[in-house]
């Protein structure tokens, strides 16, 4: 059987998904509604449309339609870099000496370097369709900003990116890619917004955070006619767009009769994990199949494993809707020693609810062990992975080694969200032996959790 499975499975173009899958439709207990920060009541479509494009706002609130058509213009763009291959990690299996079969869904074969493009193009499309001039956003590791720049360039939209300051400094070349695609890039916190000036005056030496960059981007959108804010993770609309990852992976698995036992994804805001697992979760929810799902977090930023499940602000500036999620508190800032992405304080409402229902497991892994796994993977499987993706690699290797001990021939599927070509500063730290691990103390975490808003 396995002899007929190619090393890389590329679906044919006519096998590509034509609809996104909305896992909320199949959840009996839905995620809690998002609330208006001004009055604590569920956000209406009209209220949400002030921040987001109207059709994206509708997708955000849609809990009933399991399938949503992908517009033809978006499918056209997907064809540029999709299908993404489902790769059998033969070489890694051999090197580990494991009886497990390891597959990874590789989303890095595009210039943004990650899966982020799947949602960026959708959000740019709806913005263009609504006749907007442009969009604003934040970027942490830089993948989302790059993806959005590419998408905006395609639809000729203005693109303003607030880039978390430490990333801006560590990744000057990410900035250049965005500029090459015509985007405006500002390090955050900046003097260009009120919230940025406020944060700078309180914390002049801050490295920035995603929450803070989000606040600046929202302010820049709400304050300008013809602009809306777009976000690359956390939101349910983003998980919807990212379901293309899981749908393709599932189609490839079905085609070759591959039955994953364990599905692993790195988890920051939850966009990749949610997108990868959604269609499989749908089958699990309907009792058609069973899988173990594992979310992998950095030990320095652990919303699922050490956070609390409560309503919180999505942004440091407290202007976005409130969302019930596993969170470390919107004022949580990961240590400067944390090198990769996955630095968001909270987790997607969908992923949070599924985790709370016991349908997803979560583990946290330390940074140096992640880069060790990354380097090992690069040398064995060829591709130099993004630090974020390498969290999933680390967990997949750990599971494969458990199989080696027990002799079980499990099938492991993990999401390789992207490449690390713009993360060489972090690799350099690892190569030089100057990279450190950092686990926040309970006190540090409680300090930001204590600031959660009070919602009855």
- Contacting positions for a copy of itself (CB under 8 A): 6-8, 10, 12-13, 77, 79-81, 91, 109-111, 113, 150, 153-154, 172-173, 176-177, 179-182, 375, 378-379, 381-384, 419, 421-422, 424-425, 427-428, 431
Task: Specify burial of residue 172 (Cβ count, 10 A radius: 0-12, 13-18, 19+).
Answer: exposed
DSSP for 61-99? H--S-SEEEPPHHHHHHHHHH-SPPEEE-HHHHHHHT-S
| Cβ partners under 8 Å of residue 37, min gap 6 | 313, 318, 319, 320, 321, 322, 453
d(CA 415, CA 403): 19
Where are any strands of DSSP class E within 192-287? 227-229, 262-266
Question: Which tokens belong to 223?
Answer: 């304050």
| Cβ partners under 8 Å of residue 263, min gap 6 | 276, 277, 280, 291, 292, 293, 294, 413, 414
- Distances from the Cα of 204 to the Cαs of 50, 101, 193, 344, in angstroms? 31, 50, 15, 21
Contact at 8 Å (CB) between 355 and 286?
A: no
Q: How far is the CB of 420 from a copy of itself (least distance, A)?
A: 9
Q: How far is the CB of 208 from a copy of itself (least distance, A)?
A: 21
Q: How far is the CB of 188 from a copy of itself (least distance, A)?
A: 20
DSSP for 123-157? HHHHHHHTT-SEEEEEESSSHHHHHHHHHHHHHT-
Question: Which tokens belong to 3?
Answer: 């002899």
| Residue 67 or 425 with smaller CB distance to a copy of itself | 425
The CB-based long-range contact list for 48-51 (8 Å cut-off, 24+ gap) reads 48/321, 50/222, 51/218, 51/221, 51/222, 51/228, 51/229, 51/320, 51/321
Task: Specify burial of residue 358 (Cβ count, 10 A radius: 0-12, 13-18, 19+).
Answer: exposed
What would you measure as the largest C-alpha separation in the chain, in angstroms? Answer: 63
Task: Specify burial of residue 391 (Cβ count, 10 A radius: 0-12, 13-18, 19+).
Answer: buried
| Residue 210 or 374 with smaller CB distance to a copy of itself | 374
Buried b (16+ CB within 10 A) or exposed e, 60-69: bbbeeeeebe
Residue of 392, 386, 395, 308 lying closest to 345 (CA atoms): 308
3-state secondary structure of 444: helix
Residue with the two structure tokens 């919602």? 455
Q: How far is the CB of 229 from a copy of itself (least distance, A)?
A: 23
| Residue 204 or 433 with smaller CB distance to a copy of itself | 433
């Amino acid at each position: 059987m396995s002899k007929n499975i190619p090393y890389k499975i590329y679906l044919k173009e006519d096998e590509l998904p034509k609809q996104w899958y909305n896992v909320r439709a199949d959840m009996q207990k839905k995620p809690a509604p998002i609330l208006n920060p001004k009055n604590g009541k569920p956000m209406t479509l009209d209220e949400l449309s002030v921040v987001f494009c109207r059709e994206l706002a509708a997708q955000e609130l849609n809990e009933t339609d399991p399938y949503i058509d992908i517009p033809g213009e978006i499918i056209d763009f997907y064809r540029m870099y999709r299908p993404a291959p489902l790769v059998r990690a033969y070489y890694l299996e051999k090197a580990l000496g494991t009886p497990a079969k390891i597959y990874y869904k590789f989303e890095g074969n595009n210039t943004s370097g990650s899966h982020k493009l799947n949602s960026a193009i959708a959000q740019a499309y709806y913005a263009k369709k609504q006749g907007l001039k442009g969009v604003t956003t934040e970027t942490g590791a830089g993948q989302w900003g790059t993806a959005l720049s590419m998408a905006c360039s395609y639809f000729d939209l203005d693109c303003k990116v607030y880039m978390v300051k430490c990333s801006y400094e560590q990744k000057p070349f990410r900035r250049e890619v965005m500029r090459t695609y015509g985007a405006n890039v500002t390090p955050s916190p900046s003097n260009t917004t009120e919230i940025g000036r406020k944060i700078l005056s309180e914390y002049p030496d801050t490295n920035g955070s995603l929450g803070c960059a989000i606040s600046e981007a929202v302010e820049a959108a709400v304050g300008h006619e013809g602009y809306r804010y777009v976000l690359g993770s956390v939101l349910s609309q983003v998980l919807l767009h990212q379901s293309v990852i899981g749908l393709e992976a599932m189609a490839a698995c079905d085609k070759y009769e591959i039955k994953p036992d364990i599905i692993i994804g790195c988890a920051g805001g939850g966009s990749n994990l949610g997108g990868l697992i959604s269609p499989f979760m749908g089958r699990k929810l309907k009792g058609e199949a069973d899988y173990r799902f594992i979310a992998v977090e950095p030990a320095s930023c652990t919303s699922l494993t050490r956070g609390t499940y409560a309503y919180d602000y999505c942004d440091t500036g407290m202007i976005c809707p409130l969302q019930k999620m596993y969170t470390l508190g919107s004022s949580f800032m990961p240590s400067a020693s944390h090198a990769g992405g996955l630095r968001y304080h909270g987790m997607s409402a969908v992923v949070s609810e599924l985790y709370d229902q016991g349908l997803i497991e979560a583990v946290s892994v330390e940074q140096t062990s992640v880069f060790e796994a990354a380097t090992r993977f690069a040398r064995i499987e060829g591709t130099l992975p993004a630090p974020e993706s390498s969290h999933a690699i680390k967990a997949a290797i750990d599971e494969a080694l458990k199989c080696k001990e027990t002799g079980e021939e499990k099938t492991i599927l993990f999401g390789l969200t992207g490449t690390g070509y713009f993360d060489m500063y972090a690799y350099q730290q690892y190569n030089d032996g100057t990279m450190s691990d950092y686990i926040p103390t309970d006190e540090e975490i409680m300090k930001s959790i204590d600031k959660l808003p009070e919602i009855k």
